[in-house]
Chains A and B, each alone.
Chain A
């Protein structure tokens, strides 16, 4: 089967001289839940942004569904981008706009400029927006301002916005790094759901190996812009861990914090995940 995303000899050198990506070749297949791990500055964010070309690579190519992303012209690139959803560590919502407007923005790649100015979303877009807000459990907050929501809720708005694109691929750049452990599991559960139920391929960068083990079907570790590990989550043992994170690193588990908000931000699925995590901890 042809890969959904094919990265070949990718190199990104920033104007400051930093080699963020130093010759990466990877294939991502349909249906995978790929977790990118590595230290800060190992190139995770740059690699993700080269896939939808928020960052122009210095050399090498990225192909999405057989189309060359790296050399795509403006309109061609936008047609590729709208098939790739993305969520961010800082959520990147338009804070002053309503939740509804933020979610609707996910449809921009399909809308004409004129419709954007006239702010006349089509009936289908409005219906889709409420469907996706319902999926992430915040339909009741639709007309409040985006920055009135909690961090976990804002990230769910981010997911709803990306789902509006009806994407085939979801890029997630440290989606839970700004969230508490319970909320992290809640957000990761939504990503798992869209991966399993909707068949959307997910490439997600994470800080915590425990989350990578719990949610990933494949783990890719980057170190200094190069691939340091590519395989099953279970295959990362102590030796590999130290290779990726350095000799002094100690693995920490992300579990239920002492004052995690129960039931409020964490939905049932997340609590289930927490229970599993706790069991996992006991086993060790």
Chain B
């Protein structure tokens, strides 16, 4: 390859002059990766000597010898809503309510976090920066940590789950919506501004029609994610079917736990399918 350039009196490109086996850039990259893996191996002390495959296999067998009685109420004091199916439905609604609550807060805030809407004035620009920072900070706190804090505020149960989910999603959805707003075609904004419309009229007339599809699409995507997250919230006291699952695991009632896990898997798969169908039809 290099002859092509030398024959024509051209400078040989740097990547052709390097020998891949002695190139210090390549060697140092490989060296750094190996070093990180070695340090990681030493300090995490991953110990596989205590693994117990026979016991795990036994538990697995119990998990798949499903106990279907858990699907309904367990005794005369329980209702349909205390059974696994009832709890699963409640959990789905936990995800829906959390998403809806987050939407109501995130949609108005997302306009304050969109550069193209807020540019052109130092005050609005500052609001934009603060808003984006807030979304990032809120988003970076994992939903389980938020729910733990909400449990302190609301006590164990669905309220902690819904508000925890909603809080985290204000950060996620705020960012998604803001980016959708920033991605719109600026031409119509310019044209509507030129007619003498005020900022609100410009948003209403030129921005909102462009946002309908991306907003619906992002909302369904987050609804899907949140319904998947909802069963885990019970782990930290956020209510829903997760509470029943972890109680049963702790009581070593594996056939019951296995049934609940199966129920969650079916529900999540169904959600996945439905959400993909709707979003496909939208685009």
Contacts and interface: CB of A to CB of B under 8 A. Distances in A.
Given A52-B194, A54-B194, A161-B195, A94 B201 contact: no
Interface stretch (A21-29, A109-117, A196-204): A109-117
A117 B204 contact: yes
Contact of A111 (B187, B193, B201): B201
Contacts of B200: 113, 116
A81 B191 contact: no
Interface stretch (B131-139, B147-155, B206-214): B206-214
Given A92-B187, A111-B201, A113-B201, A165 B192 contact: no
B190 A88 contact: yes
Interface in A30-66: 52, 54
B201 A97 contact: no
A81 B204 contact: no
A95 interface: yes
B188 interface: yes
A7 interface: no
Interface in B177-198: 185, 187-188, 190-198
Contacts of A83: 196
Given A113-B201, A116-B201, A161 B191 contact: yes
B191 A88 contact: yes
Contacts of B185: 95
Contact of A165 (B187, B195, B212): B195
Contacts of B188: 92-95
Nearest to B185: A95
B210 A96 contact: yes
B247 interface: no
Interface in A78-116: 78-86, 88, 90-97, 101, 105-111, 113, 116
Contacts of A116: 197, 200-201, 204-205
Interface in A3-18: none
Contacts of B193: 54, 81
Contact of A81 (B195, B212, B213): B195
B197 A93 contact: no
Contacts of B204: 113, 116-117
Nearest to B193: A54
Nearest to B207: A94
A199 B96 CA distance: 59
B197 A92 contact: no
A94 B197 CA distance: 15
A113 B204 CA distance: 9
A78 B198 CA distance: 7
A82 B194 CA distance: 7
A93 B187 CA distance: 8
B195 A108 contact: yes
A161 B195 CA distance: 9
A57 B201 CA distance: 24
B209 A165 contact: no
Contacts of A74: 198
A81 B196 contact: yes
A158 interface: yes
B194 A105 contact: no
Q: Quick one: which of A54, A92, A106 has the most chain B CB within 10 A?
A: A92
Given A92-B188, A94-B188, A116-B205, A105 B195 contact: yes
Contacts of A106: 195
Contacts of B210: 94-96
Q: Quick one: which of B185, B188, B194, B201 has the most chain A CB within 10 A?
A: B194
Contacts of B191: 86, 88, 92-93, 158, 161
Interface string A245-266: 0000000000000000000000
Contacts of B192: 94, 105, 108
25 contacts: A54-B193, A74-B198, A79-B196, A85-B195, A86-B191, A92-B187, A92-B188, A92-B190, A92-B191, A94-B209, A95-B185, A96-B210, A96-B212, A96-B213, A105-B192, A105-B195, A105-B197, A108-B195, A109-B197, A113-B200, A113-B201, A116-B204, A158-B191, A164-B195, A165-B195
Given A94-B205, A94-B209, A96-B209, 15 more contacts: A82-B195, A88-B187, A90-B187, A92-B187, A92-B188, A92-B191, A94-B192, A96-B212, A105-B197, A106-B195, A108-B201, A109-B197, A110-B196, A113-B201, A158-B191
Pairs of residues from A and B, 5 with the lowest C-beta to C-beta distance, nearest first: A109-B196, A82-B196, A92-B187, A108-B197, A92-B191
Interface of A: 52, 54, 74, 78-86, 88, 90-97, 101, 105-111, 113, 116-117, 158, 161-162, 164-165, 171
Interface of B: 185, 187-188, 190-198, 200-201, 204-206, 209-210, 212-213
